Amino acid sequence: MLAAAPQGYDQFRESIPRGIIELVEYSSATVGNTRKAMVYTPPGFSSANTYHVLYLLHGIGGDEAEWYTHGAPQIILDNLYADNKLEPMIVVFPNGRAMPNDRAEGDLFDPEKIQAFERFELDLINDLIPFIESNYPARIGRENRAIAGLSMGGGQSLNIGLNHLDRFAWIGAFSAAPNTRDPGLLVSNPDETAARVRKLWLSCGDEDNLKHISDNVHAYLTQQNVPHIWQEENGGHDWPVWKSGLYQFSQLLFKDDINEFSQVDCNGNLHNTINIM
């Protein structure tokens, strides 16, 4: 079990190599307009190499810039690269509110806006992923894609990721919101999910009013023997928990975790036989 994020993990360090975070625009057939996303490329990024991709989603009050504005993801990731703790990956920060006006303004709980968080599934699969994979040196295939997010974005990550195991093998939810589908719908075939998911991460603050959502998913996964990580953090529905989630989950990504409980089958696929709780 990883320790929660250590002190200084989100503090700017002098004299380390840095990644670059930029705003991009892509054409969305789903929404019928041009949409924004932010993209972090890691230190030493070169199109001579290929990279895994993490899609990292925001909450109900945010947009493509929310992580950058509040979560210092580029500092957290730069520090992790400096300590040699990450596989090289591009991190994409989409706008998960897939509608023509996707700014976080007005009544954020307007049913039209909540529905736009559902519609994002199509925008991601049909528009954003193809854009990223044709404009960046991204490795393609499910093993090379991860999806994670905070709150509404955590619910989206579970809904989209578990419904598209053909696209994503790594799935994380930090403080998943009530948009999270019923666990029986998320994981209708537990054996298949267990065999295909490489890492399934749930974390939540112990003082979060939405914690029952994560508790419910965790209980179902445990009952159905679907390996996953459940990390209860000290805190509420807030940035320290989400940043810590990024710090911890990113270190697990795109790595084999061979241990005494793991088995490699005749096809070379790794199976973990324990729940880490």
Task: Report the residue number, 114 or 165, with the smaller CB distance to ligand FER.
Answer: 114
Stretch that binds ligand FER, among 32-40, 72-80, 174-182, 238-246 (CB under 6 A): 174-182
- Location of structure tokens 């399934």: 200
DSSP 8-state secondary structure symbol assigned to residue 217: H
90 binds ligand FER (CB under 6 A): no
Answer left, alpha or beta for residue 240, where phi above 0 means left and psi between -120 and 50 means alpha: alpha
Listed residue (186, 257, 265, 267) closest to 2, CA to CA? 257
Enter the tokens of residue 262.
């793991």
Binder to ligand FER among 177, 187, 202, 252 (CB under 6 A)? 177
Pick the closer one to ligand FER by CB: 85 or 212: 212
SS3 call for 112: helix
Stretches 84-92, 130-138, 173-181, 223-231: which one binds ligand FER (CB under 6 A)? 173-181
Q: Does 248 sit near ligand FER (CB under 6 A)?
A: no
CB-nearer residue toward ligand FER: 177 or 194: 177
Closest CA to 272 of 255, 250, 257: 257
Is 204 an interacting residue with respect to ligand FER (CB under 6 A)?
no
Look up residue 191 and give its amino acid.
D
Which residue number, 151 or 231, has a Cβ lying nearer to ligand FER? 151
Does 178 bind ligand FER (CB under 6 A)? Our answer is: yes
Residues 69, 201, 61: CA angle, nearest 5 degrees: 30
Does 56 interact with ligand FER (rule: CB under 6 A)?
A: no
Q: Are strands 229-233 and 199-205 parallel, antiparallel or unpaired?
A: parallel
Exactly one of 151, 157, 248, 250 binds ligand FER (CB under 6 A); that residue is 151
Q: Return the range that interacts with ligand FER (CB under 6 A); candidates 40-48, 91-99, 171-179, 191-199.
A: 171-179
Lookup: tokens for 4: 């929660």
How many of the other CB atoms lie within 10 Å of CB of 227?
20
267: left (phi over 0), alpha (psi -120 to 50) or beta: alpha
CB of 115 to ligand FER, least distance (A): 10
Q: Among 66-74, 177-185, 189-197, 264-272, which window interacts with ligand FER (CB under 6 A)?
A: 177-185
Binding site for ligand FER (CB under 6 A): 59-60, 114, 151-152, 177-179
